[in-house]
Structures are given as structure tokens and as C-alpha cells.
Structure 1
Amino acid sequence: MNTTDNEILLELFLALDAPEGLRAELVNGEILIRLPVDGYHCHLISELTGQVWRKSATEMQMSENKGLRLVASGHHPADHVIPDVTFAPEELRLFRGAPSWMEPDGVAMVAEVTSAKPDQDRIAKRHCYARAGIPLYLLIDREKSQVSLFAKPHRDEYTEVHLAAFGEPLALPAPFDFDLDTKPFL
């Protein structure tokens, strides 16, 4: 895509008025429309956020479905991604007064639960988050019954990945510094 095409695509995306309950995202130059999530998805997010709230070494501010405007990949306009959960240290107060699409500066971790198109979460979004320099990306993969923690972003990839099958603990590094209990994910 050339610059003019990118500008048109971004303009079309920003003008979208998704029907109530649907989420629109712009990922790698592709507009994605997501359906409302199911109960198991909600359960997994609730378990994750509850543990972060109770166990994290640093008090965390959390936002579900917060729009992040990420860096452009060169071939596409800036990605506009909506993680299932975004975490930032409480002291930063990132979400107070933030626009609908905020910059990711200060975000400590984003988390996704696989959806109807799991490769968007496993691959496309992982690359977007790494390109943006988000330190940690936690993927709860329902189909694989495992949790993946991607760390140390470099260009459009993370250089470290830590895996845990549902039921096994997964160590979350600073600023969280606790073992995520994945038994409730079963």
C-alpha cells in the first residue's frame, strides 16, 4: 500500500461506527470486526485480572477493551488494536482522561484470550505489540490450553517466550513479580 492508500484506510477505519457490542480494530492494514465475547472468555479475563489485582508487587491499573494506537509497520497505517486487558502501574494514571485511541507509552502488559480467529492473537497482534515496544504480552490460548508470555520486544517480535499448560504456574516478571495460577483456567 502506498501512503495515500494508508491514509484512506485509516480515515475509513476512524470513521467506522461499529454497531453496539461489536469492536472494530485495524491490524496490519486489515479492518477486523469482533463479536461480543462468550462466558469462558469473560471467566479467563476475570481470573487474570483478579490475580493481578491481589498478587502484583506493583499496584496496577487495568482497562478492558482500551484502544491502543500503535506504530505503523511501514507498509500499513498505524495499528489500532483493542487488547482484552491493558495493565499499567497505578502511579502513572494512564487511563484517566485518555482518548479512545491512546498511545501505549507506560503500558506494562497487554493480555488477549484467543477468539474466533486465534492466529490474529497468536501472530498478528503479537507483532503489533512487539513493534510498539510493549514489554509483556500475555496470551491465554483456549484451543491449546496454554498461556504464553512474550517478553523483551525487538522490532516486530518478542525475543523471549515462556509457556505454561493450563494448571501449571507461569512466572510474571517485574513489575508484577508473582506466579500466575492457571488452575482456574481449566
Structure 2
Amino acid sequence: MSAMAHEPLSQEELLLEGFLALGTPEGYRAEFLGGDIVVTPPPDGDHEGYISLIMKQVVRRSMTDMDFSGNKGLKLARGGRCPKNHAIPDGTWAPADQGLFWGADSWMPPDGVSLVAEVTSTRAGRDRDAKRHCYALGGIPLYLLVDREKSSVSLFSDPDADDYQQVDTRPFGKEIRLPEPFAFDLDTTGF
């Protein structure tokens, strides 16, 4: 009996395998978005400042006790514009009572994640478009985008297929409502 030949891997599958085996320099992040391997340098201080301002407000004002990760790798749904995507949001929040991050692999599915946040940097277009579509496809209920170039904050909600159906954009200095499970107005005065 002869062994069955395995079907050759597609170019995308080969890229994904290469991505998963990739060693990145210390402090850099590698993501696989829309069939592209994206390597990002460590963030600047202002970038981290925005995440810190959001995180502090969530801790103080959220109606639900939330766990936070600034480096959680998410394996997002396949298909659509985002096949086999692996993204690392600048911030990921999930209800603490789920214990979602405890014992999770480096790359985990987004099930149970309530909110992801990105602060634009050198590749703002990826945060505005590619990541938005990937997070929607992954079913993440809320995507908060701090757009430094546009001096605005956008909250994307109601994911359907590979995009969000609702968006609320406010200029820096204005509050933006974070719905349940957060249930508070995020103050962007410090942005």
C-alpha cells in the first residue's frame, strides 16, 4: 500500500508557518495580518502614555472588574479579508472572572475578549483598516482606536462578518462612551 501524498501547502500556509517560527528582536512585535508579516519596533513613550491613560480609567471607572494584557497574541478567525491572522493589540481587556489570560498560550482565540485597543504609530493605516477588519472577523465586541495623526478616538462596535456596523469618533478632549461591560465615559482630555 502506498502512502497518500500530502497536498502542498499554499503560499499563505507557508507564510503562516514561517511567521510562527519567526524570531523577532527583543521588544519588537511580529503579526500576521491579511497575508502579510508585519514587524513593529518598540513603541514610543507617548504611545504607551495613551494606553496607560485608558488602562487607569478602566480600573477606576469600569462597572466590571477587567483583566488587561498589553502583549496578548490573538488568533483571529479565518476567511474574508483576514485569513489566518495573528494580531497583538496594544491593549486587550476581558472580565476578570473569566480568567481568560491565565494559562493561555502565546496565541489564543479571542473568545471572551471584551475590548481591544490600538494607538496609531508608524503604520496607522494597518490600525485603521487591516486590524479593524481582523478584530471584527474575530468577533471582538469593541475596538478602540486612538488615532494620533487625526487627533481622534474611535470606538467600533457591533461586529458583523469582517467589519463593525457602528462607529463613534470623537476629537481628543471629548468623552467617548464605553458600553457594557465597561459602562463609563472615557475621558480623552489627557490625549
Give me the TM-score of the superposition, normalised by structure 1. Answer: 0.96
**Amino acid aligned to 2:60:** R
Q: 1:184 aligns to what SS in structure 2? A: coil
2:46 is aligned to 40
* Deviates most, 73-82 or 128-137: 73-82
1:37-186 equivalences under 5 Å are 37-74=43-80, 77-185=83-191
Rounded Cα–Cα distance in structure 1 between residues aligned with 2:158 and 2:125: 21
2:13 is aligned to 7
> Percent identity over the alignment?
55
Q: 1:57-96 deviations in whole A, cap 9, x for unaligned?
A: 0110000021000011257641000000000000000000
Check whether the contact 2:33–2:130 (CA below 8 A) recurs between aligned residues. Answer: yes
Q: 2:155 aligns to what SS in structure 1? A: strand
Q: 2:94 aligns to what SS in structure 1? A: strand
Rounded Cα–Cα distance in structure 2 between residues aligned with 1:76 and 1:18: 22
Rounded Cα–Cα distance in structure 1 between residues aligned with 2:178 and 2:19: 35
- Aligned in 2, Cα 1:3/1:159: closer, same or farther, shift over 3 Å? farther
Rounded Cα–Cα distance in structure 2 between residues aligned with 1:148 and 1:76: 21
Matched, 1:19 2:44: no
What is the CA-CA distance between 1:9 and the residue it aligns to? Answer: 1.0
Give me the TM-score of the superposition, normalised by structure 2. Answer: 0.93
Unaligned regions of 5+ residues in structure 2, if any? 1-7
Q: 1:183 aligns to what SS in structure 2? A: coil
Q: How many matched pairs?
A: 184
Larger radius of gyration: 2
Rounded Cα–Cα distance in structure 1 between residues aligned with 2:117 and 2:147: 11
Q: 1:130 aligns to what SS in structure 2? A: helix
Q: 2:38 aligns to what SS in structure 1? A: strand
